[in-house]
Amino acid sequence: MTGFSKLHTAAGDTAVVGTQREVRPGEVLFGTTLVQPDLAMLSRRVTGRVHGIDPQLSPLTPLRRATLSMPNRFGLTLSAKTYCAKSRPLSDDERRSGPAVVSVKGRSRGPVNFDAEASFCLIDETGDGTFERAFIMGARGRDVAHDVPITPIGYTRLQNLTLPNRYLRLEYAGTGSVFGPVIRYKSNIDGVDKEAALFVYDDKGVLQLVDARKGIRGNTYPKVLDLGLVQITLLARDPETAAITYRVDRTFAFREVQINVSDGAYTTTYY
């Protein structure tokens, strides 16, 4: 997951509850710099293989803190910590790696046990600063869906690290043909600007989807909008200029979030 620095308005001022502003189509309501709340950097390269695959994890590979949806699957305690590398493409031989694989003329033959892309994850079972086990996120086969022991390896944690060239903003897109005002999230990753859907933990710790675009039906105001990272009230819309006036009700700085950036037929996820 990726955290946030404090939310700022387009003018650069920290968003303050009660602030009232007017924006026109194409203008920004809020912007923020992405912050990585918890990274692990290895003390050396991971030796050995995980289910027959070289994880290719070195001291230069940033590992991001992961929250497992089913920690009991690995028998982990509350003190355990899990970190995962960014997913990478697997070769055909790597995808067929596993206990049932056989070699035919130098090529692996067997069931496809892994997705086309997979992420290698390391587990610190006791929270003592040493990884002792590993698993592959992207496993399909039952025989490779479990964690395995590795040669223990130490790591250093980096917390609340500001990510270079990683930004997110909330923008007023104008008026849609079906809906009224349309507000959208857009990310800028290494200079590439795209609409972005968010997965955000709410106040109860439940992961919620926030669509990239939110259209507001009807012409009756005020309207309260919970947009995942901020809650605002739309106070009015000028029918001539299409400008909207809004008030800041709540801000959720440092909420953890996963950003999904749609690009044609596939989705790239930034953590």
pLDDT score at 265 = 43
What are 23-71's pLDDT values in tens digits? 999 999 988 888 877 889 999 999 889 998 999 999 999 898 887 665 5
101-125 pLDDT per residue, tens: 545 455 545 688 888 999 999 999 9
More confident residue, 61 or 74: 61
Place of tokens 């040669």: 151
- For residues 93 and 261, the model is more confident at 93
